[in-house]
Amino acid sequence: MEQAIDRVMRTYGMIVNLTPADELVVREKVSRFLEQRSENDEQKLTIAGLRFVRELKI
């Protein structure tokens, strides 16, 4: 799951300019979101994480 979180953060960081503090908040939210998923496939977790962060209001 760590790889999926890292991929989400890298990709999202290319789209949105995050401060270091914002990055920590987003990473924590993505981690909690992905932990609740029953999915184990890294690719599917990454896609779900990217969909999730697009909905965040930072």
Phi-psi region of 16 (alpha: psi -120 to 50; beta: other; left: phi over 0): beta
Query: Per-residue pLDDT tens for 16-25?
Result: 999 999 999 9
Query: Per-residue pLDDT tens for 3-13?
Result: 999 999 999 99
Neighbours of 12 (CB within 10 A): 21
pLDDT of residue 58: 67
pTM: 0.87
Query: Per-residue pLDDT tens for 24-47?
Result: 999 999 999 999 998 889 999 999
